[in-house]
């Protein structure tokens, strides 16, 4: 690999803020080089999965390998659609996650992003995924030593590996990630134009504005903080997303609060699908029906999720219109009248009316108020509108 010079990157960073909306910012990643099929070594195989090691980016002057589980359906020759599975903090390559998708008719690649193999640290692994590695100070010259750089590159190389497999339909490959994997998915979807669908779960950008990592940013100098944001916050990349994307999160998520979450999905220039669940548990959960159904709707031309237009508030009534191929089971207005930390707010839910393609609900009299409408279909798939903030009279 060529020695990395900071000058081209600094030029790109300047262009990022002056370029037209149609141009894609790719930060420190040399995306065309990551489209090259990586050298891979295949290992132990079970009925659905096989271990694989593929080449990663140079780290501290030495080549690296990435460990992953590769899974494929038990029946058929393909070509199958495929999914890249991006774990979160404290996670690893999950065999069971790959098998979940293989059982649903997909090829899947679940890679490790902490320099580990199936039995611990690899001697030629990349950086660890601890917070110190993610938020340490760096310069333009060593941006490619950072964890985020290596993790994103590992997923793009994994995409190239999948696309080269004869049993994979290279035109039907998507990505989903959980927590820090959702954070990475936001970046990846913005720089990898080959992707056909993306689902970040929990993760988002604007971490320096509000997130569980505010103490980390508080320890940085102003220059350090801005440099991290310019290179590694998803807010810089979400504008490049050109595939269907579903954002799934909880109302009280401990790490990725709803203000930063909303700023993030507003960066996407194409329509987005939202599913914000009240007090959703945070963890390596890969059994959300919303994720499976959304991916199926794109990569298998399956039944689309319900479609909600933006909520409007007229007087004391919240309203929206919807379309759905699956009959709706219920509609609700979700709201909180509390202020302060998003993670600690008490949310309430009241039924909304479903009449002739319209959803309506009375708006509670409390102010300030944050609210959004949701619908759940008979397959238990929930879609929501963006939330609206109604300030108190004194705050107007």
Q: What is the pLDDT of residue 84?
A: 99
DSSP per position, 252-276: T-SSS-HHHHHHHHHT-SS--EEEE
Q: Print burial letters for 206-238: b (CB count within 10 Å at least 16), e (below 16).
A: bbbbbbeeeebbeebeeebbebbbbbbbbbbbb
pLDDT digits (tens, 9 = 90+) for 254-310: 999 999 999 999 999 999 999 999 999 999 999 999 999 999 999 999 999 999 999
DSSP 193-212: TT-SEEEEES--S-TTTSST
| Whether residue 7 has pLDDT greater than 90 | no
pLDDT tier, 23 (very low <50, low <70, confident <90, very high otherwise)? confident
The answer to whether the beta carbons of residues 329 and 258 sit under 8 Å apart is: no
CA dihedral 48, 51, 52, 58 (to 10 degrees): 140
Q: Specify the DSSP class assigned to residue 46.
A: -
Number of neighbours of residue 15 by Cβ within 10 angstroms: 11
pLDDT given at position 394: 59
Q: pLDDT for 298-346, tens place per residue?
A: 999 999 999 999 999 998 999 999 999 999 999 999 999 999 999 999 9
Q: What pLDDT is attached to residue 15?
A: 40
Angle (CA) 365-388-244 rounded to 5° is: 150
Distance between CA atoms of 362 and 176, rounded to whole angstroms?
A: 36
pLDDT > 50? residue 20:
no
Distance CA(358)–CA(308), nearest Å, equals: 10
By DSSP bridging, strand 168-178 and strand 80-86 are parallel
| 181 CA to centre of own chain | 6
- pLDDT over 90, % of the chain: 92
Residue 86, beta-bridge partner list? 111, 177
Instruction: Work out the pLDDT band at 392, boundaries 50, 70, 90.
Output: confident
Whether the Cβ atoms of residue 307 and residue 322 lie closer than 8 Å to each other:
yes
With a CB cutoff of 8 Å and minimum separation 6, the contacts of 163 are: 37, 170, 173, 194
**Is residue 9 predicted with pLDDT exceeding 80?**
no
184-230 pLDDT per residue, tens? 999 999 999 999 999 999 999 999 999 999 999 999 999 999 999 99
Return all residues near 28 (Cβ < 8 A) that are at least 6 apart: 4, 9, 143, 144, 149, 231
Q: Tens digit of pLDDT for each residue in 144-176?
A: 999 999 999 999 999 999 999 999 999 999 999
Residue ranges and CATH numbers for the domains of the chain are 6-299 (3.40.50.1820), 307-395 (2.60.40.10)
């Amino acid at each position: 690999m060529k020695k990395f010079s900071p000058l081209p990157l600094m030029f790109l960073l300047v262009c990022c803020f002056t370029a037209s909306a149609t141009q894609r910012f790719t930060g420190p990643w040399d995306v065309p080089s990551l489209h090259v099929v990586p050298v891979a070594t295949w290992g132990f195989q079970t009925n659905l999965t096989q271990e694989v090691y593929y080449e990663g980016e140079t780290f501290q002057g030495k080549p690296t390998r990435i460990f992953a589980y590769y899974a494929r359906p038990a029946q058929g020759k393909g070509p199958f659609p495929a999914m890249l599975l991006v774990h979160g903090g404290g996670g690893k390559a999950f065999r069971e996650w790959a098998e979940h998708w293989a059982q649903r008719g997909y090829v899947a690649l679940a890679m490790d992003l902490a320099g580990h193999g199936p039995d611990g640290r690899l001697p030629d692994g990349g950086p660890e995924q601890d917070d110190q590695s993610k938020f340490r100070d760096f310069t333009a010259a060593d941006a490619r030593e950072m964890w985020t750089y290596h993790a994103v590159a590992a997923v793009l190389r994994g995409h190239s590996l999948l696309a080269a497999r004869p049993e994979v339909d290279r035109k039907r490959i998507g990505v989903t990630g959980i927590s820090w994997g959702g954070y990475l998915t936001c970046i990846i979807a913005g720089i990898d134009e080959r992707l056909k669908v993306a689902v970040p779960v929990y993760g988002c950008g604007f971490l320096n504005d509000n997130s569980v990592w505010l103490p980390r940013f508080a320890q940085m100098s102003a220059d350090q903080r801005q440099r991290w944001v310019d290179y590694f916050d998803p807010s810089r990349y979400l504008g490049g997303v050109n595939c269907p994307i579903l954002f799934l999160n909880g109302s009280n998520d401990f790490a990725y609060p709803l203000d930063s979450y909303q700023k993030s999905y507003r960066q996407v220039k194409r329509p987005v699908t939202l599913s914000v669940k009240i007090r959703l548990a945070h963890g390596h959960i890969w059994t959300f029906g919303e994720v499976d159904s959304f991916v199926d709707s794109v990569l298998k031309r399956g039944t689309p999720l319900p479609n909600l237009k933006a909520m409007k508030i007229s007087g004391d009534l919240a309203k929206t219109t919807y379309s759905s191929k699956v009959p709706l089971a219920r509609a609700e207005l979700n709201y909180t009248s509390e202020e302060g930390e998003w993670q600690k707010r008490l949310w309430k839910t009241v039924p909304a009316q479903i009449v002739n393609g319209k959803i309506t609900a009375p708006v509670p009299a409390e102010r300030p108020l944050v609210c959004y409408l949701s619908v759940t279909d008979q397959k238990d798939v929930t879609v929501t509108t963006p939330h609206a903030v109604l300030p108190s009279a004194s705050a107007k």
